[in-house]
Structure formats: structure tokens, C-alpha cells
Amino acid sequence: MNSDYKKYIYLNKQLWNAWSTNHTNSDFYDVEGFKKGAHSLTDIEISELGEEVNGRTMLHLQCHFGLDTLSWERLGDIPTGVDFSENSIHTAWKLNMHSQFILSDIYDLKSRLEKRFDVVFTSYGMLFWLPELKSWAEIIYHFLKPGATFYMVEFHPFLDILVDELKETPNGYFGSNEPVRYHLTGTYAAPDADITADEYRWKHPVGDIISSLTRAGLQIRFFHEFNYCAYPVYPGMIRISNGKYVIRDFTDKFPYMFSIMAVKP
């Protein structure tokens, strides 16, 4: 991997280490509610993937501190969560029921994990932390058993065109090798957190995402787009119903999220 990528990944990892404690204590993640028996999954991934994975082994990439990983376990699956943030993984270990958690950058995961899985899962706000998708898709293919399923649900890259508040460089749709730098105060889950730092994101158009998966050898089963957001993670969002948020004055005029299901032959 390009050495510049590693530098930016390291800086982002330090940011996530700083965020982790604030996220654990935030209303956004509601850890106390989880401890009382709730789960953190949305209706989208449960309806699109839930019946597909019950009782199967799952690899959860970029799992943060593991609430979704443990939620899949609570619904009957056997998950392994992976994240590059030491603080996040340490929190996951403390919350852990029976799931396995591995501290690793996903680009290094082949050297740290030998298992193959029935499902590889990843969701919400993960792609723009990845400098390149070719290796990402090959890693997904590598860890799937033959006939197994990859599923992802993610914020639509089209949204970046409309979110201008944090922009420091022109924020178009198409990506490049260079990351976009954002200067942030607080976090998406804890806006009042006393954290000020830069983060580095890469843009990945939908065509590049789908192409990376098919070139790795996966077969796309569906690609869905959604005219709402499952979380109020962008400025100016209003709630239109339970678990559905839109940007005021834009409502259903563009895609907020998408999901992909693919299969390893």
C-alpha cells in the first residue's frame, strides 16, 4: 500500500481512539439500553440480511466497539468483529458476550485471521475511511466460504455534494487518490465532546464500489437505494418517522443510503 495511505490511516486511527470513550457514553449508541437487551441494528439490515445469517458465522469489518457485532450475536449468529482502533476493541472486549474481536487494520487482516465465514458484513460510514477498494474487495472475497454472502449498507456518496459545512476542498462526487481533509469539533455521536482534530476521507463513487466487488470475483445479487437516512448524522437533518431522517427541504429528492448483497461463487 502507498506509504502516504498508511500515514493517513494512522492519523484516522488516533482520531477513533479519541472518539471511542465519548461514543461509549453517548445517547447515540445507548450502551445501557443494549445491556438491558436492546440491539443496535436497523430494520434495513435485519430485513435484507437477518434471515440469511441466523446461526451462521459472520465477519464484521470496521466494527467500532462492537455493538452491531454483538447485536448479530444476540439475534443468533456467531460473529467476529474487526477494527483498527485499540480503544474501540478494548471496549468491545469489555462488552463481549461470546463474539471474537480482533485488533487489525482490515488491509492486514489476512495475516491475523485464518477462518472463512458464511457472511461478511459491514455498515454505515465505513467506505470513506478506506484509501482504495481493490484490496478491500479482495479481502472480502478471501474470507468468504464458497457460496457465502457479502452484505453492506452505507451512506450514499451523493450526500457529500450537499454537506458543505465541514468542507475544506471542493466536495464533488468523484474520487481521487488524495483524501479530503475535514476539521472537526466533537463527533457525529457526541457533538459536544471536547475533541478537535482533522480526519481524512476518500471518495468512492457507487460505480467504483460495485466494480471492485465484481472484479474480485463476487456476483451482485442486489443493489438498493434509500430515500432516507437511518441516522441523523448530517447537519440539518429532521426526523420524518422512526429510524428515518432527511435533510430539510430535500426530503426524498435524492438517495441517502444504499445496500449491496453479493455472493462468492
From first to last of the 265 residues of the chain, give the pLDDT tens digit.
666 789 999 999 999 999 998 999 999 999 999 999 999 999 999 999 986 677 899 999 999 999 999 999 999 999 999 999 999 999 999 998 899 999 999 999 999 999 999 999 999 999 999 999 999 999 999 999 999 999 999 999 988 776 654 444 556 788 778 898 888 888 888 888 888 889 999 999 999 999 999 999 999 999 999 999 999 877 778 999 999 999 887 777 789 999 999 999 9
Q: What pLDDT is stored for residue 54 in this prediction? A: 75
Distances (CA, A) of 187 to 32, 35, 43, 206: 20, 23, 24, 26
Burial class (CB within 10 angstroms; exposed 0-12, middle 13-18, buried 19+) of 129 = buried
Q: What pLDDT is stored for residue 171 in this prediction? A: 64
Phi/psi for 51 (5° steps) reads: -70, -20
**Domain locations in the chain as residue ranges:** 3-263
Q: What pLDDT is stored for residue 186 in this prediction? A: 87
Is the Cβ–Cβ distance between 158 and 226 less than 8 Å? Answer: no
Q: What pLDDT is stored for residue 165 in this prediction? A: 47
State the Rg of the chain over Cα. 17
Phi/psi for 154 (5° steps) reads: -150, 155
Q: Residue 145 corresponds to which cell in the numbers above? A: 466460504
Q: What pLDDT is stored for residue 219 in this prediction? A: 98
Q: What is the pTM of this model?
A: 0.94
Select 3-263's CATH number: 3.40.50.150, 3.30.200.20, 2.102.10.10, 3.40.50.720.
3.40.50.150
Q: What pLDDT is stored for residue 260 in this prediction? A: 98
Q: What is the rounded distance in angstroms from the CA atom of residue 84 to the CA atom of residue 87?
A: 9
